[in-house]
Structures are given as structure tokens and as C-alpha cells.
Amino acid sequence: MARKKLIFGIIVSLFLLVLFGGCIVEKNVAPAPDLTHKEAADISPQILTQSSKEENIPEITILSFSSIYGHRNLENRGQVLFTWENIPGNESNKLLSFLKNDLGIIWAWRPNLDNQNEKVNITKDEKNKTIRVFTNYKSIDITLFDDSAWLKSSEVGMYQWQVKEENGDHNFLKSEGRTSYNLSQEYFAVYELKLKNNGSTNIDFKLNDLRLHEGDRIFNSSLEPCLLCGLNLLEVFQNLAKENKIHDTTLLPGESLNGTVVFRVNSLYDESLLLMYNKTPVTSSSFEKSLVSLRTAEKFNYSVALGVPPYCNCNERGGIKGTYEPMFDNNCDTFANWVNRSIFDTFQKSDVERMQKSSPENIPMTEMAYALRVIPEKNISMFPIKNEFYFATPLIIDDMGEEMINSSGVIAGLGVLSNGTYKSFRFGEKLNTSRMRFSNATVVQISFEGTYGEPMGQRMSFVNQIIILDDELNIIAVSYEPDQFVS
């Protein structure tokens, strides 16, 4: 149970202190959520990558795009632990005590038993809204957002507090872990951008001038982590966490930089979303192709490529066998082997309906994340990392030799299109594939988490997939990694 509380502190929407810089968050609470998704809308083909149509603006190119959904029914409003304004200060010991007793970070209370002179230091950077707890050898960063704060450390990964502002003070609240019928849902759109100054004078880039339009609605950038972002098992979030975050900056002539920008939106990706800097659209034909690639990856039946059914019941965990018919039952629940939009919708609908039908005295916890990331039009090479005769995980590099996707786990299988049919490989089988090169290819990542049940009997289903599409948007390679637990 203590481990699960840590996961929930970790969990939540880049992100990821991750995509994390400071933000605007709204809480969407709905006892009966709308489980439908918006269909594709027509998009004008004439819009090109932004050029300097306006004076003193950078060239902006979309390098990758991510779309994220998260929900949970866990209420986090609890007792006040400490106040931001009193650290460092008279509440520093309250913070250190919480790190030691609740998160198990012993060194924050007594850094080195062999060296009584070593001290724990606490500093605060008001500009970047960050508290740093550190010794000579270890450190913790705590970043404050509007109504939440995130801790980042090697011991626990990510941990989130709810924050309540009262009379100018920001009170950190302890999670009480109570479930309810109310479901918090969040959607995020994440753009990885390249900014470049092609002019002869300095350009002042203002993050607030970058907005996402959906018809008459306008979304401002939000560097708040999403509801379910940062969980170590979800690789979309792991990769986004490594990206630089874009802030207000001055670009010198010829200078360029890459970074991510996050927007809180109302649905998973929709072709009607239009990114703009001031009055200039930021999109391109490659970005339009990215959205088509996402649709293709979400509709694909991965059983064809992997030779594995989409579901497995409680007695078939392991990701190499299963069923085509899910069985959502409190006595023997269903896990996902692989995931597409249909599989995600099935888990989402079933978990929410089961939760809402439960008795008020015994409301199960439901928590879900579904994350998509697309990187368009790259010359790439993919080859398995071998362990003598067997492979563990695919390595994907671009034509500059840089790793594009960090896949941290041992995959369960790999499917490769050859001569019009798919050849599937499974972990433990001898590897008969060599390095594969793809020109002008698109890479799609899909990550999924579906947790449901009582504290001592929760189904915890995680899936990570990597999909490669060729220039004609045929799926030519796919790997999958399911992790399936019962708490």
C-alpha cells in the first residue's frame, strides 16, 4: 500500500517536473464523464511551417507532437503539512520529517552517519519557484505550480502534493487517498518545437504569444504536469521528461533552440487544433502527416503484426497469450497485452462504469493514462540490442546517430513487415533480424496505464509500444512491452 501511495504521488498529465515549469490548471470533475472522442476535422492544406511573415518573430518548426489523457477518482485534499513561504525557515523540519517518514528519504534527515559534520541544506529560487534540499552528494528539487507542487529525486522519482493558497500562503496538503464517484479528467497537447532566429537582430520570444486555437477557443501554454504524467513505467512520459522546456528567451542572430510546450485542452488530438505565434500559424505538411500517422497507429490491429491477442485474463499474465474478449470481473480481471484506441476505450468505459456502480462504502480506485507521441519524417535505423542470442529492446537512432526513443524495459515481442506479411519475434526466441534502415519514416509511441480495484487487489496494467511507419504510412515495425501486476 505504501508503494501504491508513492505511485500515486508520482502519477498524474510533461509534464513530466518534467514538462514542468509553472502553469494553469483547471479541475474537470464529472461523475458521469463523456467517453466519446472528437472525430477528425478538415484542415487547410495551405498552411506551411511558420516563416517570418511578421516582423521580429522566430522561425518555428514542430519536431514532435504528443497527446495525453488521464483520469482518476482519488481525492487528495488532506491536512496541511507545511507552507511554501516558511521554507527555508521555521517549517523546514516539517518538510525534512515528511521526506524521511513518508517518502523514506533517510539522508534528508541525517545525511551521513559516518560524518556528523555533513549538513542538509535548503535553498529557494523564487524566480523559478523551486526549493532545493541537498547535501554534498544528493539533492531533491521541489517545484511549485498554481495548485500543486512536484518533487523530483532519484529515490522516489516524482511525487506530487496538492497546494491550497490561503491569504497569500501556499499550503502543501497531505494526500488522504480517499476515493469518490467524482472523476478528474485531463487532456494535454505537447509540442516539441525548434525556434530559430534567421534575422540579423535579436528576437525576444514570448511564451504567452504562443497559443493553441480550436475554433473560437484559445488555450494558453501550461507547464503544469498532467494528472497522470511522470509514472516511471510509461515511456512517452520518460522521453518527454528529458526534453528542454521552452520559456521566454532572447534568440541571437543565427541562434536556435529546441524545447517542449504544453497546453491543457479538451480532448485527445484533433485536426482542428491550430498552433499560432501571435497571428502566424505554426504547422506544416509534415505535421499534418503526423496526425494521419496517429490515426493509422490507433486503428491498427496489432494482433496481425505481433501474433498476440489484445487481452489476457488474470491467469494469463505475461503478454504472450490471451483472449480477444475481455472479462472485467472483480474476481478475475483483464489486462492489456497491447493497446490501440479501441482497447483504450474499452478499458476506460468498463472501469468508469464499474466504479460508478460500486457501493458508497467501498468505492474502488480507477486510474488511467493514455499517451501518444509522434515524430515525423526521419531517416532512422532500428536494430535490437542483443544479449548474445536474444534481444531485449529495440534501439532507434536518426541519421545523425542520436537515439530517438528511450525504451527502458525488456520488450515482449517485435513484429516486422517483410514481403507483405508480418514476421513476429518474441523475447527468448533466437533473433533473426539485422539492422533495418527506413527513409522518411514516422515513429509513434503509445503508452497506457489502467489501474482498477481495492488497495490489496488492484489490477495494474501497463503497456508501451513503438510503431514505425514508412513514407506511405504503412506500419512496418512494432514492438510491445506489457507489464501486468496485481497489488
pLDDT digits (tens, 9 = 90+) for 369-419: 999 999 998 888 887 665 544 556 677 777 777 777 766 667 888 888 988
Is 1 among the domain residues? no
| Residue 452 per-residue DSSP state | E
Strand blocks (E) in 399-474: 403-405, 413-418, 421-426, 436-453, 459-469
The confidence score (pLDDT) of residue 194 equals 95
Is 44 among the domain residues? yes
The confidence score (pLDDT) of residue 10 equals 39
259 shares its domain with 371: yes
Q: What mean pLDDT is reported for the chain?
A: 80
Question: What average pLDDT does range 260-284 have in this prediction?
Answer: 90
210 shares its domain with 271: yes
The confidence score (pLDDT) of residue 331 equals 81
Task: Give the pLDDT band of residue 167 (cuts 50, 70, 90).
Answer: confident
The confidence score (pLDDT) of residue 385 equals 67
Is 369 among the domain residues? yes
Here the contacts of 421-424 (C-beta below 8 Å, separation 24 or greater) are 422/304, 422/305, 422/306, 422/307, 424/305, 424/306, 424/307, 424/308
Task: Give the pLDDT band of residue 444 (cuts 50, 70, 90).
Answer: very high
The confidence score (pLDDT) of residue 49 equals 47
Is 3 among the domain residues? no
pLDDT digits 0-9 by tens, 20-31: 333 322 333 333
124 pLDDT above the threshold of 90: yes
Strand blocks (E) in 314-469: 334-336, 365-387, 390-398, 403-405, 413-418, 421-426, 436-453, 459-469
Is 103 among the domain residues? yes
**Domain range for 88:** 80-174
292 shares its domain with 364: yes
58 shares its domain with 91: no
251 pLDDT above the threshold of 90: yes
pLDDT digits 0-9 by tens, 25-66: 233 333 333 443 433 333 333 333 444 445 678 999 999 999
First to last CA, the chain: 8
Asked whether the whole model's pTM tops 0.85, one would answer no
392 shares its domain with 246: yes
Distance (Å, whole) CA 207 – CA 219: 12
154 shares its domain with 288: no
474 shares its domain with 487: yes
154 shares its domain with 302: no
| Residue 208 per-residue DSSP state | G
Distance (Å, whole) CA 359 – CA 289: 47
Question: What average pLDDT does range 117-130 have in this prediction?
Answer: 85
Q: Which of 108, 139, 174 is the last residue of a domain?
A: 174
The confidence score (pLDDT) of residue 252 equals 96
Q: Which of 156, 174, 192 is the last residue of a domain?
A: 174
Question: What average pLDDT does range 459-487 have in this prediction?
Answer: 91
Question: What average pLDDT does range 96-102 have in this prediction?
Answer: 88
Give me the amino acid identity at 192: E
Is 439 among the domain residues? yes
Question: What average pLDDT does range 127-146 have in this prediction?
Answer: 86
Here the contacts of 239-244 (C-beta below 8 Å, separation 24 or greater) are 239/373, 239/405, 239/406, 239/445, 240/14, 240/15, 240/16, 240/18, 240/19, 240/66, 240/190, 240/373, 241/14, 241/15, 241/16, 241/18, 241/19, 242/406, 243/14, 243/19, 243/192
165 shares its domain with 214: no
The confidence score (pLDDT) of residue 153 equals 75
pLDDT digits 0-9 by tens, 208-239: 899 999 888 898 887 555 544 445 578 888 88
Distance (Å, whole) CA 463 – CA 449: 7
Distance (Å, whole) CA 418 – CA 476: 8
Distance (Å, whole) CA 413 – CA 30: 38
- C-alpha cell recorded at residue 16: 513530466
Is 260 among the domain residues? yes
Which of 108-122, 153-167, 436-450 is predicted least confidently? Answer: 108-122
62 shares its domain with 122: no
| % of the chain residues with pLDDT over 90 | 39
Which of 20-24, 133-137, 256-260, 424-428 is predicted least confidently? Answer: 20-24
pLDDT digits 0-9 by tens, 338-381: 999 999 999 999 999 999 999 998 899 999 999 999 999 888 88
Distance (Å, whole) CA 315 – CA 109: 44
Is 2 among the domain residues? no
Q: How many domains in the chain?
A: 2
Q: Which of 145, 174, 203 is the last residue of a domain?
A: 174
Question: What average pLDDT does range 197-202 have in this prediction?
Answer: 94
393 shares its domain with 327: yes
258 shares its domain with 138: no
